[in-house]
Amino acid sequence: MGIFKKKTNKSENPPPEASKAATEEEEFDSKEIEACRSDGGGINIVVNKPDDSAAGVEKERELSHPSLVSLYIKDVDANNDIPANCSPVRISNEWFDMDMVVMLRTPNVDDDTSPKGTEWNQKVADYFRPKQRRFEFQYQVKLKKKPEDKELFYAIQWNEPVKLGIIQRTFLAAILAFLKRTRPTVHYSTTGTEKKEDGSFEKPHLANFIEIGLDRVVITKPGEEPPALGGDIEEDLDHYKARKSGKVKIDFNTEDTYTFALWNANVDWIDWKIVGIPGVGSLDLNKFLGNQPLSILLYMLDKNRGNTNHFQKDQELIVHLEMSSIFQHKDKEEKKKGGFW
């Protein structure tokens, strides 16, 4: 079986139309892609990550579809890449063993002429085709120790607030209003608070209780078969309604297996955009994040910490993933014109 390798020149900028993966698709014949690693594995491609290019460090990545070349997902603690639209990735630490699947809507979901990618990418495309979702993250967790008197949160977080103009602030307010309507228990700060040496400050973030914020939470007892990752995760309807209304608090333990799913139809990670928000339309994530990566976190806070803040010093991280895009590093003509708008 052939392995395709593509090397980017560390002195050149990413192509401006990378969102369509035009350059990459010219170099990948769709039939060859299907033949390559047809067992469901990825296509090995050597690509310089933007922040590594100055040092000339090459990262070998597995891509299940050429459009995914724009996106980087990293397990920060293990310093490993997390491939999208591939078989489950195992993440292990002192708290748990976890299998994770990242599913993204590649162009072949909506365009039959686009390359199909690997067998796993086709499986994901078939899954997304009748749905509106742009992405879905699935996790299957077996805890190694019981969290005592803790609240578990799922969050996105970034390091520094980005200075916004009045138009951008208006758009952000509309997005947050939409978010509060659809997920009323969300905890957020778009600016964070003043940094303090003792860690009693918040970074910009959006967070929610695992029990309320996630789209699927399935608890499998010992001896039962947990849901298979990569397809529909079915949850009892009564359990779903109860936890979404805040009536369910999970007693996390080391015996059960926990399967989580989070999806969204408004965040396009491949093109690094927010899409489909009523009254907003499409919006470049760079306008809110700049060049900084986005962290995806699972963390615990003490139930009896005495406040509702999500201070850095109080967070006990369980999972720290990091997402970034080549679109954060391409030259922008808009900047030369004095703004994004």
3-state secondary structure labels for all residues of 149-179 = CEEEEEEEECCCCCCCCHHHHHHHHHHHHHH
Helix, strand, coil share (%) of the chain residues, nearest 5: 25, 30, 45
Q: Is residue 23 part of a domain?
A: no
Q: Is residue 51 part of a domain?
A: no
| Higher-confidence position of 3 and 213 | 213
Local confidence band at 60 (pLDDT 50, 70, 90 cut-offs): low
pLDDT in tens, 1-29: 333 333 344 344 444 444 444 444 434 33
Q: Print the domain residue range for 214.
A: 70-336
Q: Is residue 20 part of a domain?
A: no
Q: Is residue 31 part of a domain?
A: no
Which range (33-42, 65-74, 98-107) has the least confidence?
Answer: 33-42
CA atoms within 13 A on the CB side of 26: 6
Q: What percent of the chain is predicted at pLDDT more than 70?
A: 78
- In whole angstroms, give the CA distance from residue 50 to residue 30: 27
Q: Is residue 62 part of a domain?
A: no
Rounded (5°) CA angle 176-180-183: 125
Q: Are 125 and 116 in contact (CB under 8 A)?
A: yes
- In whole angstroms, give the CA distance from residue 88 to residue 137: 11
Which two structure tokens, joined as six digits, stand for 162?
């980005």
- In whole angstroms, give the CA distance from residue 183 to residue 238: 18
Q: Is residue 56 part of a domain?
A: no
Q: With 70 as the cut, is the pLDDT of residue 159 above it?
A: yes
Can you name the residues that pair with 167 across neighbouring β-strands?
none
Which range (2-16, 127-141, 207-221, 234-248) has the least confidence?
Answer: 2-16
Q: Are 71 and 85 in contact (CB under 8 A)?
A: no
Q: Is residue 86 part of a domain?
A: yes
Q: Is residue 176 part of a domain?
A: yes
CA atoms within 13 A on the CB side of 281: 2
Q: With 70 as the cut, is the pLDDT of residue 169 above it?
A: yes
What is the rounded average pLDDT for all residues in the chain? Answer: 80
Sequence letter at residue 312:
Q
Q: Please, is 289 exposed, middle or buried when counting C-beta atoms within 10 Å of its C-beta (0-12, 13-18, 19+)? A: buried
Local confidence band at 135 (pLDDT 50, 70, 90 cut-offs): very high
Pairing verdict, β 294-302 and 150-157: antiparallel
- In whole angstroms, give the CA distance from residue 211 to residue 217: 7
Which two structure tokens, joined as six digits, stand for 256?
């059960």
pLDDT in tens, 315-335: 999 999 999 999 887 654 443
> In total, how many domains does the chain have?
1
Total-model pTM: 0.77
**How many Cβ atoms sit within 10 Å of the Cβ of residue 149?**
9
What is the pLDDT averaged over residues 265-293? Answer: 87
Can you name the residues that pair with 296 across neighbouring β-strands?
156, 321
Residue written as token pair 């298979």: 228
Q: What is the CA radius of gyration of the chain?
A: 20
